[in-house]
Structure 1
Amino acid sequence: MLFSPHLKGLALALLVTTSLVSPSFSAEDVVCPFQCNSFANLVEPLLPAVVNISTTTLLRGRGETDASPVDSPFPKGSPLEDFFKDFYDQMQPEGPRNSSAVGSGFIIDGSGYIVTNNHLIADADQVIVTLNDNTELKAVLVGRDRRTDIAVLKVNTEKKLPSVEWGNSEKLRTGDRIVAIGNPFGLGGTVTTGIVSHLARNIGAHSRSGDFINGYIQTDASINMGNSGGPMFDMNGKVVGVTTAIYSPTGASVGIGFAIPSEVAKKIVNQIREFGRPKRGWLGVGVQPVTEDIAEGLGLKELVGALIGRVNKDGPAAKAKLQAGDVILKIGDKAVKDNRSVPQIVADIPDGTQIPVTVWRKGKILSVPVQIREQAESDETGVIPSPEGGKDLAKGIEIHGMTLQPLTAEVCQRFDITTPEVQGVLVVDVSPKSSAAEKGIRPGEIILEISQVEVNTPQQILEQFKNAEKENRKSALLLISRNGEPRYVSIKIGADDAAE
């Protein structure tokens, strides 16, 4: 029920348990030496601060909405569309119904502040927190951050609640022991143990929070459905992670679980408590990795930085005259190691701060002052996604494995290209064995630039390829656009891809 198909095997986990009996404790009082035979002394004071979370979401029944549960595959106005809608209406029960989910959380303040995962409570109409002594309390949402999958709840009670302290996830080492407590399959107060299997694990597009988390904590501790939002403790009884996902082909634990590092979660939680929302800086660019081919095409000697593929209109970067094709090397005094470094570094910069951004542009290193803006929920994160497949199109001139056509008004009409200001050359076919195909270029994409020179005809592209060959370059850098989303691709120049 809680799995999302796009996670491709990463199953969301949900977790927790807690009580009014035990007061807040000092983590220094709880020590479990490496050779300890039992975790009981460590776990006993922690259990009361871990809670079960159950959510209820009201789902509309048949007749309450005109929308079909899925998009109709038939044209609007078609008799088959009515048949399709009637069929799915019959599949829906009469009247509203409730959908429920269970998960975990932990108390970080005796006044009733609770940390959990955003995906657990995101669409909930009601959230109930069950303490370790089975006391049930209604919770209100203080704030949430979908980009790190963190949410903060608040319960009201006359008694001070037991709480736990944050630890420092940056001090963890691979092989360290950890303890997870949660509510797997609704079994509250479940304790599992394991080790840190890997640090800074990148689970990329499979995660709900990839761009703003500099690597997840991977563990072999048993994490299951219902563990999400629960705490991961170190051997001093401090929270070093928030369990959020598992990798599993079956839905049950196979010893590969993931937690949000405490250094990420703590910062977001503090901002939510103070402002009601996370506050992070925004540069307003879409970036992609600098590969060997791209570095060679740009004249970079090292694989460093992040290549700007898109500059958001009216964003901070656009106002500072940063350009697509620039490689960001440093933001302030912090080196940019890769494309994911950019949103992570910028996120910590306060709104309105002017900061120098060091870029590589056409063989020169420039320092560009940029005034950072606070990121709105609707602003794009900054990492450009990989391209998807396209449709088969018409014939044209073949150059290096790509069949190209000028972007004339007739071609635009034929291929449903409606943006009037679009210029470039249309890719209508790609040879399966070409370098272009290997780099993900697909029919329907538009070549805007080659070697950072704008192109509008296949002949101009051919000229740029010839210039690259004369300069003994091994590859050529293309700026490609699909559905208005630009990205850079470097393709090899070789005899096998020669123009015909």
Structure 2
Amino acid sequence: MRRLWLLFTQAVTVCLGILFIVATLRPDWLHSSPPDASTAPAASSSVASPDVRQGEVSYAKAVALAAPAVVNVYTSKHINVPIVPLPNDPELNRLFRDIPGFSRRKQSTNLGSGVIVRGDGYILTNYHVIEAADAIEVALSDGRQTRAKLVGADPESDLAVLKIDLPNLAVMTFNGEHQVRIGDVVLAIGNPFGVGQTTTMGIVSALGRNRLGINIYENFIQTDAAINPGNSGGALIDTTGRLVGINTAIYSETGGSLGIGFAIPAQAAHTIMDQIIQTGTVTRGWLGIEPQDITPELARAFGLKREDGVIIASVFKNGPAWRAGIRVGDIVLQLNDQQVEDAIGFLNQIAPLPPGKEVSLQIMRDGKKQDIAVKIGSRPRIRKP
């Protein structure tokens, strides 16, 4: 037994010595060569993936799959401009634009991007791209151009749905149940500055961005993929070519990309699009209240141990909350046993609820907690597209 042990230890020592010599003199012998392209299994035609060749990564397959579904959107509208230059006063300019003889009609053009998401010609874009447009033109990546019809829009989320009538359209696939994660590689496709279709790359920098003052309902994907004017309404895709967001806005003091762009998540855009196609509008739950965040000062004044919840700053007369007995100064702590964190989160909790559904609000009034049943109403439209 002792002899066998000695033989084993000597063999291990010799092998380690050989391994050390090879690793020092010929380290390339220890690395397997990349598989030959002719023997590698073919990728699925429906799902693209990054190409890895000789240590280089390419997203050409994802772009080739998604780019044909991204279109350029051109809009035109006529506006009244003063004949004589006026001081930089918006109110004075607006007054003189409406006075006959002091203004003239001028055609204004705008450009943006859109994404074909259905084979029957439905296109998702941003509301601000087509806002107040007299005519909308769409140019496809294959060179075809056509007029587009506005199906409907949702200014509160800055989304709009267009319709074109052309055959053989390339369609982009939504990312479905695949969750976007911080750190995922994403590609932005659009028409920045009107130079033509352009693809940029970055990562998902953050999720759930709100309080930006862009829309009423905000739940943005933040990315550092370069997004510039003209990219609005374009596609944010993952490395398999699926749609993860609609590019909407940038944070910039110069008008150019500073590495902070925002996109509407694809799932939210899909839900809004379906409602617009079916009914021509978007229905959101509404209580008829204006919530306000609870500051540390308010928490101390009301004797709250935490700063969660919202305080009711105003109540719309004869609205759902008014009829249920909610009053200014009430503090909302929970909605259907779900904690209310802040005003933005509270509005986002209410919005998906169907009108007519009864919910329970836990409020604090005069230092005492109580539950109040409220029937959800339908949020009135603030402005029309």
> What is the TM-score when the length of structure 2 is the normalising length?
0.80
1:293 aligns with 2:302: no
Please state how far the C-alpha of 1:250 moved relative to its aligned partner. 1.2
8 Å contact 2:202–2:225 — kept in the other structure?
yes
Label 1:27 to 1:113 Cα distance change in 2 as closer, same or farther (>3 A): farther
Please state how far the C-alpha of 1:170 moved relative to its aligned partner. 7.7
Please state how far the C-alpha of 1:263 moved relative to its aligned partner. 2.5
**Distance in 1 (alpha carbons) for counterparts of 2:259 and 2:218:** 21
**Distance in 2 (alpha carbons) for counterparts of 1:359 and 1:33:** 56
**Distance in 2 (alpha carbons) for counterparts of 1:237 and 1:355:** 40
How do residues 89-488 of structure 1 correspond to structure 2 at under 5 angstroms?
A: 92=103, 95-157=104-166, 159-167=167-175, 171-205=179-213, 207=214, 209=215, 211-214=216-219, 216-378=220-382
**Distance in 2 (alpha carbons) for counterparts of 1:167 and 1:147:** 23
**Distance in 1 (alpha carbons) for counterparts of 2:380 and 2:340:** 23
1:56 aligns with 2:64: no
List runs of 5+ in structure 1 lacking aligned partners.
1-25, 74-83, 380-500
SS in structure 2 of the partner of residue 221 of structure 1: coil
Q: 1:7 aligns to what? A: none
Once superposed, what is the RMSD of the aligned Cα atoms?
2.6
SS in structure 2 of the partner of residue 198 of structure 1: strand
**Distance in 1 (alpha carbons) for counterparts of 2:171 and 2:64:** 13
**Distance in 1 (alpha carbons) for counterparts of 2:280 and 2:89:** 33
SS in structure 1 of the partner of residue 91 of structure 2: coil
For 1:188, give the aligned amino acid: G
Which shifted more, 280-289 or 169-178? 169-178
**Distance in 1 (alpha carbons) for counterparts of 2:178 and 2:232:** 21
Label 1:339 to 1:221 Cα distance change in 2 as closer, same or farther (>3 A): same
**Distance in 2 (alpha carbons) for counterparts of 1:301 and 1:251:** 44
Deviations 1:31-72 (A, max 9, x none): 227976111111112111000000000123669xxxx99434
Q: 1:46 aligns to what? A: 66
Deviations 1:194-241 (A, max 9, x none): 011122223432x1x1x3223x11111111110000010112221111
For 1:31, give the aligned amino acid: S
For 2:68, give the aligned amino acid: P
8 Å contact 1:195–1:219 — kept in the other structure?
yes
> What is the TM-score when the length of structure 1 is the normalising length?
0.63
**Distance in 2 (alpha carbons) for counterparts of 1:346 and 1:132:** 40
Structure with bigger gyration radius: 2
SS in structure 1 of the partner of residue 117 of structure 2: strand
SS in structure 1 of the partner of residue 290 of structure 2: strand
How do residues 19-98 of structure 1 correspond to structure 2 at under 5 angstroms?
A: 29-32=47-50, 37-60=57-80, 70-72=90-92, 92=103, 95-98=104-107
Which shifted more, 140-149 or 247-256? 247-256
SS in structure 1 of the partner of residue 380 of structure 2: coil
Please state how far the C-alpha of 1:177 moved relative to its aligned partner. 0.4
**Distance in 2 (alpha carbons) for counterparts of 1:280 and 1:36:** 47
Percent of residue pairs identical: 39
List runs of 5+ in structure 2 lacking aligned partners.
1-43
SS in structure 2 of the partner of residue 313 of structure 1: coil
8 Å contact 2:211–2:344 — kept in the other structure?
no
**Number of residue pairs the alignment of both structures matches:** 332
**Distance in 2 (alpha carbons) for counterparts of 1:152 and 1:61:** 29
Label 1:51 to 1:287 Cα distance change in 2 as closer, same or farther (>3 A): same
Label 1:62 to 1:256 Cα distance change in 2 as closer, same or farther (>3 A): closer
